[in-house]
Amino acid sequence: MLYTCVAACILAGCSPTGDDKNAVIEQKVESLLKRMTLEEKLGQMNQISSYGNVEDMSALIRRGEIGSILNEVDPQRINTLQRVAVEESRLGIPLLIARDVIHGFKTVFPIPLGQAATFDPQLVEDGARISAIEASSAGIRWTFSPMIDVARDPRWGRMTEGSGEDTYLTSVMGVAMIKGYQGDSLNDPTSIAACPKHFVGYGAAEGGRDYNSTYISERQLRNVYLPPFEAACKAGAATYMSSFNDNDGVPSSGNKFILRDILRGEWGFDGMVVSDWTSITEMISHGFAADAAEAARRAVDAGVDMDMVSYAYYKELPQLIKDGKVKQQTIDDAVRNILRIKFRLGLFDNPYVDENLDVLYAPAHLEAAKRAAVESAILLKNEKQTLPIPASVRTLAIIGPMADAPYEQMGTWTFDGDKNHTVTPLKAIRELAADKIQVIYEPGLSFSRDKDTKGIAKAVAAASRADMVVVFVGEEAILSGEAHCLADLNLQGAQSELIEALSKTGKPLVTVVMAGRPLTIGKEAALSSALLYSFHPGTMGGPALADLLFGKAVPSGKTPVTFPKSVGQVPIYYSHNRTGRPVTGNEILLDSIPVEAGQTSLGCTSFYLDEGWTPLYPFGYGLSYTTFEYDNIRLAADKLSVSDTLRVNFELENTGNYTATEVAQLYIQDKVGSINRPVKELKRFQRVTLKPGERRKLEFKLPVSELAFWNIDMKKTVEPGEFALWVATDSQSGEAVPFEVTE
C-alpha cells in the first residue's frame, strides 16, 4: 500500500488524546500543581542517571528532588524506586523511567539507517512496537528516539541513528517509529513515550564532527530540517529533546525561537521538552552563558522543561526566582508539561511493572528482526548474476572479521542487547548449508581495524580451495554513533588488502559490508563480483544475510543516503539545489587533461576534476535478483490547481525470474521558484511485490498542497508554474514527465 501517514498526520492535531480525556488530565494537573512546593516543582524538572546506591537515590526521591531517572533497567530496582516515589514522598508523584532504546531493547533490529533502507514504514512501526513491549516489561516508559535529524554527511557518526539525507523519508520513518513506540494509547502499559531528537539541525554539524556548530538559514531550516519534527508533532509525539548544537550562534537548549515560537506557538505542542545530556550547562562551554545560573535561566525561559542530569535547574532556579530573574509562571508551565505526560502514560494509576513478565527475545520478535534485516540489505552489484549462490557450489569460503562478530553486528546504541543471542552470518550459513556444502572459515583479520596482515595468507589459501568466496567486512559497532565521527570513510585496517588478495584467486568474490554509515568502497566494489551492503543488521542479521546469499530471500533494500566515491565529495546528496553552471557531460577529468591546457578548456561547470559529479551510488538505489520495467507513466491531468490531487498512473513489470519486491519512487521538481529549488525531491514511495512476468497497474496520489515550500517572502506556499516528475527505481533514473500548477 502507498504509505501516506505523513500526509494524514498533517490533518491531525498535536494532542495524542481526545478532548474529554485531556480535560480530565488538565484538571488533575492543576489540582496537583496547586499543592506543590517550589522544591517539589523543581524536583519534577530534574532528571538523573541511575547509579549503584538505591538508598541514596531513594532519599532524593523521598524528598521530591527527582522527577525522572534514566539508565535503570532492572524491574526490581525500578519498582523499589517507584514505590518510594508513590508511597513515601509527600505527593506520591511517580517517576518517569527512561532509556535509550534506539533500535531495539533486547531483540536488536537493524540500526535506524538500515531500517530506512527498507522503505517499509509498517516494518519500522512493528519494530518500534516490539521495542516498546520489551522495554516496558522492564519498567521503561520513555525512550529518546526517533532521531529525525536530516543528515547529509556520513563523516558524522550519528547518521547511523537516523533515516539518512531525505526530508520526506525521514518524516515517514519518524512517524512510523512514534506510532510503534506509543501504540494506540500512551496509557497502555506496553507503550513508551517517544522523544523526537535532536531539535533541531544537529545533522548539519559542521565538518561532520559531533557536537559542532551548524549554520542553517531559517528558510533552509523550515524547508529541510523542521518538516520531520512537525510531522512527529502531528503524529502525537509525547516529548522532544533539544539538541547539543548551536545554530548561527544560538545553542538549541537556549533557543526560544525554535522551542517556544515554532514548537509550541506554531505547532501547538503541549508535551514535554527535555534537554540532551548536560546540554544546559554546556551552554557555558558554548560561551552563551557565563555560569550555571545563567544557563538555567536561558534554558527554562527558552522552553526546556526538564534538565537531563546537569542539576542546574534544581540548584540554580530557587535563587533566580527569588531575584525575579525567572518567573514562577515559567516554572509552573514546565511542571504542567511534565505532569501531563505522566498522567497520559497512566503512571499515577499503574506505576509498577510486573517483574515476572517474559517477553524478551520472543519468537515473533526474532522473526520480525530477521525480516527487517532482510529488507534492509542493499544489493549494490551483482555481476553475471553471481548471487544467489548457485547450486553448483560445493565448497564455500567464509572470510573476514565481520563474519562471526556477534557484538559488532548489533551496531551502535545497543546498551541492552546481548551478543549471546546474536546469530552471526557464519553460524547461519553453516546451518543453512548443513551437509550440502562444505564451509571453510578463515577470518583473515581479527577485527575491522586490524592492520596485521599475517592472517591474509591463510584466508587466501582457504579461498583457493573453494568454489566461491564470501568476505564479510565493515565497521565495528564503536566506529559509528555518538562521538564516533570519521575523517576517512575507507574500510579500516587491512580489510581492503584482504579483498584485493582474495580477488586475485580468480574465484567469484561476494563482498558483504556491515557498517554504520556509507563507506567509500569504490575500489572494493570493482574487485568484487557481487556487493551486498547491510547497515549493522542486529540480532538476526546472520540468518537474514544467509537467506539472501542463498536465494531464500531476494534483496529489496534501497540506499537511504548517497554513497560518495571519496570523502572529498562530502556533503553529497541527491536533492541539492541547481547551480548556474550545471555539468554538461562534456567535462574533462583529471587523467584526460592535456599538458599546458588552457585555463578555460576543461569546462567551467560544477564538478571535481578527480571525481567528476556523480556519486558511487545514488539515493534510492538498490538491485534485485530480478529486473523490473516501468512503463506507461501518465497523469490523470497535467494542469492542476493547488486544491487538486496529482494522480500518477504507471505500470510495473517483473521481467526476471524471481518473485521480488521493488520500491517504486516518485520524485518532483519545481522548475522555477522565487528561490532556487532542488533538482529533485522524493514525495512518495511504494513497495510492490511481483511474481516473474507479473505486470501491475499502480498509482501515486499527491495533494498539490504538498508542493508548498517556504518562499522568498518566508511564506509557505505552492507557487504556480511548471513542474516535472519522475517515477523510477532510484533518484537518478527515469524520464521527466511535465505538469503545470495554475493559480
Catalytic residues: 276
For residues 739 and 639, the answer to whether their CB atoms sit within 8 Å is yes
Q: Give me 612's grid cell.
A: 567528476
pLDDT at residue 603, rounded to an integer: 86
Q: What pLDDT is attached to residue 391?
A: 96
The pLDDT tens digits of the residues spanning 593-637 come to 999 999 988 989 999 999 999 999 999 999 999 999 999 999 999
CA distance to 45, 50, 77, 139, 682, per residue, from 69 (Å): 11, 6, 12, 11, 40
Q: CATH number of 19-344: 3.30.70.1070, 3.40.1280.10, 3.20.20.300, 3.30.420.40?
A: 3.20.20.300
Residue 510: CB partners within 8 Å, gap ≥ 6? 386, 387, 389, 468, 469, 470, 471, 528, 529, 530, 531, 532, 549
Tell me the mean pLDDT in the region 305-313.
98
**How many CA atoms lie within 13 Å of 324's alpha carbon, on the beta-carbon side?**
0
Contact 135, 72 (CB under 8 A): no
Instruction: Indicate if the pLDDT at residue 14 is higher than 80.
Output: no
Q: Give the count of beta carbons closer than 10 Å to the beta carbon of residue 624.
A: 20
| Percentage with pLDDT > 70 across the chain | 98
Convert the pLDDT of each residue in 503-556 to its tens digit: 999 999 999 999 999 999 999 999 999 999 999 999 999 999 999 999 999 999
Grid-cell match 507557487, residue found:
719
Confidence of residue 52 (pLDDT cuts 50, 70, 90): confident
CB-based contacts of 476, cutoff 8 Å, min separation 6:
405, 408, 447, 448, 449
> Pick from 248, 303, 297: which is nearest to 271 by CA?
303
The answer to whether the CB of 144 falls within 8 A of the CB of 96 is: no
pLDDT at 17: 43
Q: What's the average model confidence in pLDDT over 164-182?
A: 98
pLDDT of residue 308: 98
* Local structure of residue 150 (DSSP, 8 states): -
Tell me what the mean pLDDT of segment 425-446 comes to.
97
Residue in this structure with the C-alpha cell 523519508, named with its chain if needed: 169
For residue 290, what is its C-alpha cell?
557565563
Q: How would DSSP label each residue in 6-44?
A: HHHHHTS-S-SS-HHHHHHHHHHHHHHHHH--HHHHHHH
At residue 4, the pLDDT reads: 43
- pLDDT for 20: 79
CATH of domain 628-741: 2.60.40.10
pLDDT at 722 over 70: yes
Higher pLDDT, 435 or 476: 476
What's the predicted TM-score (pTM) here?
A: 0.97
What is the residue type of 153? D
Are 520 and 339 contacting, i.e. CB atoms less than 8 angstroms apart? no
Domain limits, the chain: 19-344, 628-741
**For residue 588, what pLDDT is reported?**
94
pLDDT band of residue 10 (cuts 50, 70, 90) is very low
How far from the centroid of its chain's Cα atoms is residue 130's Cα?
A: 17
pLDDT value at position 115? 98
432-446: b (≥16 Cβ within 10 Å) or e: bbeeebebbbbbbbe
Instruction: State the average pLDDT over residues 383-403.
Output: 98
Q: Which residue is associated with the grid cell 583529471?
A: 590
- pLDDT value of position 630: 98
Q: Sorting pLDDT into bands at 50, 70 and 90, what band is 15?
A: very low
Give 231-258 pLDDT, tens digit per residue. 999 999 999 999 999 999 999 999 999 9
Per residue, what are the HEC states of 364-408?
HHHHHHHHHHHHHCEEEEEHHHCCCCCCCCCEEEEECCCCCCCCH
- Listed in sequence order, the residues at least 6 apart from 107 whose beta carbon sits closer than 8 Å to its beta carbon are 130, 131, 134, 360, 361, 362, 365, 366, 368, 369, 421, 538, 539
Report the alpha-carbon distance of residue 345 to residue 711 in Å, rounded: 40
Indicate if the pLDDT at residue 704 is higher than 80: yes
The pLDDT of residue 7 is 41
Res 655: pLDDT:
98
Confidence (pLDDT) at 18: 62
Q: What is the mean pLDDT of the chain?
A: 96
Residue 338 has pLDDT above 60, yes or no: yes
